Amino acid sequence: MQTIPTQHVAIALGERSYDIAIGSGLISQVDSFLHDTSRPDALIVTNTRVGPLYAAQLQAALAPCHREVHTVVLPDGEAFKTWETLNQIFDALLGRHSDRKTVLYALGGGVIGDMTGFAAASYMRGVPFVQMPTTLLAQVDSSVGGKTAINHPLGKNMIGAFYQPQRVVCDLDTLQTLPRRELSAGLAEVIKYGPIADLEFLTWIDQHVDAMLALDTQALAHAVKRCCEIKASVVGQDERETGLRAILNFGHTFAHAIEAGLGFGEWLHGEAVGCGMVLAGRLSARLGLVDAAFVDRLERLIERAGLPVKAPKIDATDNAGRYLHLMRGDKKAQGGDIRFVLIDGQGQAFVRGAPDALVREVIDAHTSP
């Protein structure tokens, strides 16, 4: 395993600004971000998969920084991103009479990060928390920017809050224990940044996707840092997604419909995003916004990353109709009109609508038999 010197990316949000640390062995090197001599209590929130691997290590590292360090272990998976699971965090906090200075540490992937952040935003109307993402997807995307949420049966991430962490700590060593399917899912969010913001980075991904799949630490370090730089720039300009930040949802309108239509947890989020980018790219091409050859290139890259490029059938009678119904509940929808993040092949993205008939054609042409 290669050792990577720690690099930093700053999120500039005024008094809510914070640092993203990217490097090796960081779980064992955690310093208190508070510089608070009162040594508040801490609660590590993790899950049944990540906890046995890293919770004891983090607890030992945090011990000198906090009066007491406790851990709550949640069930693993998107299917548990619910009110019921969220309440387990509140139960742990209330059961220990935790106060407003208690620090929450989110040790896990995107589900743990989202739920811990939402709990931190809600408990006593706001307590500090630190993101410690252990999956590629969480390191390059979900841990950065302050989006927190849980799912509802009718829509993904529809109940939540914007609430920024105090710090994001990306320990690249944790990626070495990541299952191959989860690694591929994370690559979807890496690939996303190319067509929406940086074509040179897209070319780099094309050249290094095999290295990342082989868990080459140097390649992963570059990918995580560049993704965080792009996201930091976007979030710094549009923290609450009133405009520009929506481009980060490239592929997500289709993806969220896939996840809800199949039942949360059947496909990983990154798998749905990979497929969703293909569909959004094909829609862009049918609207005359991008050359079909560019979308072909993007689809080949997504497939090389080990991701699905054909949409699943989610309704036996009116499949495209079911997609359209679910997409009307997307957060970008306005007045019942679906808004898609579309690309131009020049490293730019924008949000606009599309005729239902055209969307149906794209779905019908790119759905698995």
101 is a catalytic site residue = no
Name the residue among 291, 298, 154, 140 with its Cα closest to residue 222. Answer: 140
Give the C-alpha separation, 57 to 2, whole Å: 20
226 is a catalytic site residue = no
249 is a catalytic site residue = yes
Could you give the 3-state DSSP secondary structure of residue 239?
Answer: coil
**Which runs of E-coded beta strand occur in the chain?**
7-11, 18-23, 42-47, 69-74, 103-108, 129-133, 147-152, 155-162, 167-171, 340-343, 349-352
97 is a catalytic site residue = no
DSSP label at residue 15: G
222 is a catalytic site residue = no
8 is a catalytic site residue = no
241 is a catalytic site residue = yes
* Residue of 47, 151, 249, 319 with catalytic role: 249
300 is a catalytic site residue = no
* Residue of 49, 252, 282, 286 with catalytic role: 252
252 with 273: CB under 8 angstroms?
yes
| Integer CA distances (angstroms), 347 to 55, 140, 191, 257, 275, in order | 40, 18, 12, 25, 19
* Residue of 189, 239, 259, 271 with catalytic role: 189
* Residue of 269, 286, 322, 339 with catalytic role: 269
* Residue of 208, 225, 256, 282 with catalytic role: 256
Rg over alpha carbons for the chain, rounded to the nearest Å, is: 20
Residue 341, both tokens: 């993040």
**Could you give the count of Cα atoms lying within 13 Å of 334 in the half-sphere of its Cβ?**
7
* Residue of 231, 282, 286, 339 with catalytic role: 231
Give the C-alpha separation, 350 to 352, whole Å: 7
Could you give the 3-state DSSP secondary structure of residue 235?
Answer: helix
- H helices present in 107-198, as ranges: 110-122, 136-137, 180-197
328 is a catalytic site residue = no
* Residue of 49, 66, 81, 147 with catalytic role: 147
189 is a catalytic site residue = yes
171 beta partners = 23
265 with 79: CB under 8 angstroms?
yes
Name the residue among 61, 63, 158, 78 with its Cα closest to residue 118. Answer: 158
Catalytic residue numbers read 125, 147, 189, 231, 241, 245, 249, 252, 256, 269
